[in-house]
Amino acid sequence: MLDPRNDKLAGILVDYSCGVKKGDLVYVAIRGVSSLELAKAVIRRITDVGGVPFWYYNDDSITRQFLQRNTEEQIKKFASFHLAMARRTDCYISINGSDNPFDLNDIPPEKMQAYKKLYYKPVLADQITKKTRWVVLRFPNNAMAQLAQKPQEAFEKFYYDVCCIDYGKMSRAMNPLVRLLKKTDKVHIKGRGTDLTFSIKNIPVVKCDGRFNIPDGEIFTAPVRNSLNGVITYNTPSLYEGELYENIRFEFKGGKIVRATCSGSDEKLNKILNTDPGARYVGEFALGVNPMIREPMKDTLFDEKIDGSLHLTPGRCYEESPNGNKSAIHWDLVLVQRKDYGGGEIWFDNRLVRKDGRFVIPQLKGKFTRKALGG
């Protein structure tokens, strides 16, 4: 039975996010069996507007078979094949519905790092995200509902409400914050276990309003690479390469993470940060403003947009907001500053801008609420 919610979401992905036009070649990457119904709706919509869809099905249980046994030479040939397809692509839509987010949990770190360097970076990071119109989203399967600790039906309703928010209204609401960030030099983040300063002077600011990720709702820039000093403690769990990390704490000196700890394995955490020299520097600073997303659910695409949150990201910067940091990793780690998560403050150039997750200056007060954005 067709779900009209999938048709509505497919319309957002194809028409709004990617702007598919007649004759466009659209690469639909489908991950997980549960994603198939939305994928079908997307392929129907692409065809209806005159685009030409082609699709690739995968899931982590299949990828696992390759990663357990491959050599670097095999990864290079695998990447070369996919790169040839990516180079012909006008648009890329990725629908992720992994049945088990821990499928890659036992892959040796050195194999994951090789896969990231030899496949992910040239194909996805350097080609698709830089040279196509693209959008990525998760699909609300039972595994995702379990991570969010919600019943399946309740989670599905939440998902479609979040993903189908009025992105036009959100985009307009973001404009004053974008203007403020562009004028800002010094940022000071305060909170429980956090006292961190850095500069964002002259770094471009980008609003994320449904063009590349669904759901969306963040504004990002990047710190001046060597300007971070102090400490930050993240209060949101992060699932990375099949491993769950909690209470991550970074100490910075001259922009570099000089000490990293967490509630789990400090050794695994530091292996990630030792992937390459850029992994211990920050490539992104962003504020989450989606009022429909309130709680962490161990899914980056949702967690980084949490109402009243920020994320400070070890690793590669975005080309749209460059600070010179290069790395094979880009790890969005989230700190929620609402009162129910311990509170916190953000200061721009010695002026209090956000307290306990709420903007307190006139041009931003009340901009990012359910009522304001039609949620």
Tens-digit pLDDT profile for residues 175-192:
999 999 999 999 999 999
CA distance linking residue 268 with residue 325, whole number of Å: 22
Average pLDDT, the chain: 93
Q: Report percent pLDDT > 70 for the chain.
A: 99
Q: What is the 3-state secondary structure (H, E, C) of the chain?
A: CCCHHHHHHHHHHHHHHCCCCCCCEEEEEEECHHHHHHHHHHHHHHHHCCCEEEEEEECHHHHHHHHHHCCHHHHHHHHHHHHHHHHCCCEEEEEECCCCCCCCCCCCHHHHHHHHHHHHHHHHHHHHHHHCEEEEEECCCHHHHHHCCCCHHHHHHHHHHHHCCCHHHHHHHHHHHHHHHHHCCEEEEEECCEEEEEECCCCCCEEECCCCEECCCEEEECCCCCCCEEEEECCCCEEECCEEECCCEEEEECCEEEEEECCCCHHHHHHHHCCCHHHHCEEEEEEECECCCCCCCCCHHHHCCECCEEEEEEECCCCCCCCCCCCCCECCCEEECCHHHCCCEEEECCEEEEECCEECCCCCCCCCCHHHHCC
Q: What is the per-residue pLDDT across 141-187, written as a single tens digit (0 to 9) for each?
A: 888 888 778 888 888 888 888 888 888 889 999 999 999 999 999 99
Percent of residues, the chain, with pLDDT higher than 90? 76
Q: Which residue has the tokens 């980008």?
A: 206
CATH number attached to the domain at 4-163: 3.40.1830.10
Whether 99 shows a pLDDT value over 90: the answer reads no
pLDDT mean over 340-355 = 97
What is the reported pLDDT for 156? 86
Note the pLDDT of residue 1: 62
Residue 374, pLDDT score: 65
Q: pLDDT of 197-217, one tens digit each? A: 999 999 999 999 988 888 999
In this predicted structure, what is the pLDDT of residue 168? 85
| CA pair distance 69, 60, nearest whole angstrom | 14
Cβ atoms of 354 and 360 within 8 Å: the answer is: yes
Residues of the chain with CATH 3.40.1830.10: 4-163
* Mean pLDDT calculated for residue range 272-298: 95
Give me the mean pLDDT over the 22-51 stretch.
96
- Residue 369 pLDDT > 70, yes or no? yes
CA distance 251 to 259: 5
Q: What does the longest C-alpha to C-alpha distance in the chain come to?
A: 57
pLDDT reading at 229 higher than 60: yes
Q: Is the pLDDT of residue 375 over 60?
A: no
| 15/253 Cα distance (integer angstroms) | 45
